[in-house]
């Protein structure tokens, strides 16, 4: 992008706005030592690959020392690397390899909770004075006072309140040693840190500074909605999913904690922060961002992830899988138009199923629809996030039995559903689970058509999806028309086009059930994006959009219409016009 100081000031140009992020789930990315688990040297081996794709930032999911109850989101030691992923020297080598190619590295900052094997928790559960208040410890209630959610405790005793965890069951577990219950918004092996305790905040800030000093380029802040809980930890509405959600998220001190962390750490470095904020709305979001807010740069909102859930949320086995394009456009356009908010643009990640199976058509139109999704990701406002494997159109697979699943969230949800009587067995839930489970995005990366898709020479920790003979990186790179090359070109186009990063967003044909079309405008630069988000032909007929013949900057069919208005677009046809 050409230098222009005045425009820079007006646009508030930032490297993290202009960047494209690639998310690596290290366990499933590339195994360098044949133990069947992806590792850090495996990522380093592929830095050239990422550079060829054209991405600027790698977001590496947790590689810290961990017992892996939640694949690394349960951290045992924040300052050490898990053996299975390599060593600190390996991590340093990855950082240098990325920096050598002008790419940056951000990592997860998981500080709502630790592992129950973290030293802080081990000492806290022993009642060690310095750590006794590091977590939420409470006495139980007599059974008859309590609601039904209960994890095993002493006879006659129920958890301190009725909160449920995101991973199913009660949000409380009983600890025999301490004779009390501890809170875990997620898995029982992920006890929540007590952010009310200033010692906890000091320890977190110290640890964050330690990583910043090592030269990391930023953090993705995990589950920040949970950092502050409602005063007194009151019971929640039994109809919430999970129960207590309104009490254990977005509590009264959240801004204070984030602002303090920012001032003590991020503010002193040229790094970026992106906060995972499940449950946030456009109205809430701006308060977290920028110098006038909590100093965060951008956020991951979830509204479009909820679009196809049943009335009871993601794990409601009734009414899932239906979504309408007009509603999807309404939700996303709200975020696109919010001038004071900068979001991560994403359609999938390690917590979601495969994007082409969910939002495209992985059977009749896998190639076209995967390219359409790429077009969307790279032409909207916000920092685009590409999740590993989506750049080759990896698809969902079929988990035939409960035993084939790994994700504790899915397993917990299935157990809860069966216990509630809404289903008798996994078989009743199989189609639903296959649609939504986080495991869909955690199958090994498909590099080539050799054994185990070239992911490992050993036994893969998780089965490779059987599409790998056709759907793999080597085949995609050898074919100029592939989804991979389309991503590469779309990334390049974004890098060359300030209008795609900074331009205003205007939605056209909002009620059209097939077309998602918008213009991006920056002074006299204009881009029009037309996406036929359906398997049928559709005519683009907006009111008053004065575009005659336009230059096609990128399209997923060879011969796109050159006069978009009034033209017919084929199934999953996507085109970016400049005019
Ligand atoms: C969000 C992470 O993305 C997810 O994978 C994890 O299970 C929870 N936070 C808990 O850390």
Domain boundaries, the chain: 15-112+201-222+273-486, 503-578
- For 504-519, what is each residue's pLDDT tens digit? 999 999 999 999 999 9
CB atoms within 10 A of CB 9: 9
Of all protein residues, the one whose alpha carbon is nearest to atom 2 of ligand 1 is 222
Among candidate residues 31, 74, 157, 276, the one labeled active-site is 276
Peptide bond into 242 cis (omega under 30): yes
Helix 426-436 crosses helix 408-420 at what angle (to 10 degrees)? Answer: 140
The span from the CA of 343 to the CA of 348, in Å, is 14
Q: Evaluate: CB of 81 within 6 angstroms of ligand 1.
A: no
β-sheet bridge partners, residue 219: 107, 273
The span from the CA of 481 to the CA of 558, in Å, is 9
Catalytic residue check, 263: no
- Please tell me the predicted confidence (pLDDT) of residue 143: 86
Q: Tell me phi and psi for residue 105, to 5 degrees.
A: -125, 125
* End-to-end Cα separation, the chain, in angstroms: 18
Of all protein residues, the one whose alpha carbon is nearest to atom 6 of ligand 1 is 73
Q: Quick one: how far is CA 459 from the chain centroid?
A: 27
- For 526-573, what is each residue's pLDDT tens digit? 999 999 999 999 999 999 998 999 999 999 999 999 999 999 999 999
The span from the CA of 413 to the CA of 402, in Å, is 11
Q: Evaluate: CB of 335 within 6 angstroms of ligand 1.
A: no
Q: Which among 461, 467, 489 is positioned nearest to 556, based on CA atoms?
A: 489
Query: Atom of ligand 1 at shortest distance to CA of 278?
Result: 1
Of all protein residues, the one whose alpha carbon is nearest to atom 11 of ligand 1 is 73
User: H/E/C letters for each residue in 289-306?
Assistant: ECCCCCCECEEECCHHHH
Model confidence at 149: pLDDT above 60: no
Burial of 218 (0-12, 13-18, 19+ CB in 10 A): buried
- Residue 2's pLDDT band, with cuts at 50, 70 and 90, is very low
- For 253-299, what is each residue's pLDDT tens digit? 999 999 999 999 999 999 999 999 999 999 999 999 999 999 999 99
Query: Atom of ligand 1 at shortest distance to CA of 110?
Result: 11
CATH fit for domain 503-578, picks 2.60.40.1180, 1.20.810.10, 3.20.20.70, 1.10.520.10: 2.60.40.1180
Q: Evaluate: CB of 274 within 6 angstroms of ligand 1.
A: no
Say if 15-112+201-222+273-486 and 503-578 have the same CATH topology.
no
Catalytic residue check, 276: yes
Best mutation site among 24, 66, 73, 279 for ligand 1 pocket (most ligand atoms within 8 Å of CB): 73
CATH of domain 15-112+201-222+273-486: 3.20.20.80
- Please tell me the predicted confidence (pLDDT) of residue 145: 59
- Please tell me the predicted confidence (pLDDT) of residue 150: 59
Q: Give residue 313 CA to ligand 1 midpoint distance, Å.
A: 17
- Please tell me the predicted confidence (pLDDT) of residue 4: 47
Judge if pTM exceeds 0.85.
yes
The span from the CA of 60 to the CA of 75, in Å, is 15
The span from the CA of 136 to the CA of 197, in Å, is 10
Among candidate residues 222, 351, 416, 512, the one labeled active-site is 222
Q: Which among 170, 203, 263, 197 is positioned nearest to 75, based on CA atoms?
A: 203
Query: Is the alpha carbon torsion for 211, 217, 221, 227 positive or negative?
Result: positive
Q: Give residue 56 CA to ligand 1 midpoint distance, Å.
A: 24
Q: Evaluate: CB of 186 within 6 angstroms of ligand 1.
A: yes
- Please tell me the predicted confidence (pLDDT) of residue 3: 46
Query: Atom of ligand 1 at shortest distance to CA of 276?
Result: 1
Model confidence at 6: pLDDT above 60: no
Mean pLDDT of the chain: 96
Whether the CB-CB separation of 78 and 64 falls below 8 Å is answered with yes
Write the DSSP symbol of residue 390. Answer: G
Q: Which among 389, 298, 385 is positioned nearest to 346, based on CA atoms?
A: 385
Q: Quick one: how far is CA 184 from the chain centroid?
A: 21
Q: Evaluate: CB of 222 within 6 angstroms of ligand 1.
A: yes
- For 20-46, what is each residue's pLDDT tens digit? 999 999 999 999 999 999 999 999 999
Q: Give residue 12 CA to ligand 1 midpoint distance, Å.
A: 31
- For 305-348, what is each residue's pLDDT tens digit? 999 999 999 999 999 999 999 999 999 999 999 999 999 999 99
Q: Evaluate: CB of 407 within 6 angstroms of ligand 1.
A: no
Whether the CB-CB separation of 417 and 423 falls below 8 Å is answered with yes
Q: Tell me phi and psi for residue 527, to 5 degrees.
A: -130, 135
């Amino acid at each position: 992008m050409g230098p222009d100081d005045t425009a820079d000031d007006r646009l508030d140009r930032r490297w993290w706005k202009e960047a494209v992020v690639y998310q690596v789930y290290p366990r499933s990315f590339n195994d360098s030592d044949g133990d069947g688990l992806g590792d850090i040297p495996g990522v380093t081996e592929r830095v050239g690959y990422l550079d060829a794709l054209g991405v600027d930032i790698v977001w590496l999911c947790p590689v810290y020392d961990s017992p892996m109850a939640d694949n690394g989101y349960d951290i045992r030691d924040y300052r050490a690397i898990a053996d299975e992923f390599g060593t600190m020297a390996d991590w340093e080598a990855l950082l240098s390899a990325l920096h050598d190619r002008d790419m940056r590295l951000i990592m997860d900052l998981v500080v709502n909770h630790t592992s129950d094997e973290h030293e802080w928790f081990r000492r806290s559960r022993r009642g060690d004075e310095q750590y006794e208040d590091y977590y939420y410890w409470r006495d139980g209630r007599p059974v008859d006072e309590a609601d039904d959610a209960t994890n095993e405790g002493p006879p006659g005793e129920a958890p301190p309140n009725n909160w449920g965890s995101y991973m199913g069951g009660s949000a409380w577990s009983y600890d025999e040693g301490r004779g009390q219950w501890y809170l875990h918004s997620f898995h029982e092996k992920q006890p929540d840190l007590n952010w009310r305790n200033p010692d906890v905040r000091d320890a977190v800030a110290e640890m964050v500074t330690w990583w910043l000093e090592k030269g990391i380029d930023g953090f993705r802040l995990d589950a920040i909605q949970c950092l502050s809980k409602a005063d007194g930890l009151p019971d929640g509405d039994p109809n919430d999913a999970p129960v207590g959600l309104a009490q254990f998220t977005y509590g009264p001190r959240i801004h204070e904690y984030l602002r303090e962390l920012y001032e003590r750490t991020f503010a002193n470095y040229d790094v970026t922060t992106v906060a995972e904020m499940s449950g946030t709305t456009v109205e809430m979001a701006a308060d977290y961002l920028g110098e006038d807010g909590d100093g965060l740069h951008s956020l991951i909102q979830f509204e479009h992830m909820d679009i196809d859930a049943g009335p009871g949320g993601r794990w409601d086995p009734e009414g899932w899988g239906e979504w309408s394009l007009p509603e999807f456009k309404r939700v996303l356009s709200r975020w696109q138009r919010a001038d004071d908010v900068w979001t991560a643009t994403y359609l999938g990640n390690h917590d979601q199923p495969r994007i082409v199976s969910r939002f495209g058509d992985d059977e009749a139109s896998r190639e076209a629809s995967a390219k359409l999704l790429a077009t969307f990701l790279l032409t909207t406002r916000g920092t685009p996030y590409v999740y590993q494997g989506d750049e080759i159109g990896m698809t969902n697979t079929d988990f035939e039995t409960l035993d084939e699943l790994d994700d504790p969230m899915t397993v917990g949800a299935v157990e809860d559903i069966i216990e509630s009587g809404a289903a008798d067995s996994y078989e009743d839930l199989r189609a639903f689970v296959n649609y939504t489970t986080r495991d869909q995005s955690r199958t090994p990366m498909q590099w080539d058509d050799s054994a185990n898709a070239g992911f490992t020479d050993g036994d893969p920790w998780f089965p490779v999806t059987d599409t790998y003979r056709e759907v793999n990186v080597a085949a995609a790179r050898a074919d100029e028309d592939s989804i991979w090359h389309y991503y590469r070109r779309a990334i390049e186009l974004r890098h060359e086009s300030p209008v795609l990063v900074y331009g205003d967003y205007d939605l056209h044909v909002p009620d059209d059930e097939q077309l998602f079309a918008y213009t991006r405008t920056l002074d006299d630069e204009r881009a029009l994006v037309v996406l036929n988000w359906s398997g049928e032909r559709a005519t683009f007929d907006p009111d008053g959009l004065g575009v005659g013949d336009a230059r096609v900057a990128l399209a997923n069919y060879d011969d796109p219409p050159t006069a978009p208005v009034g033209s017919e677009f084929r199934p999953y046809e996507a085109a970016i016009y400049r005019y």
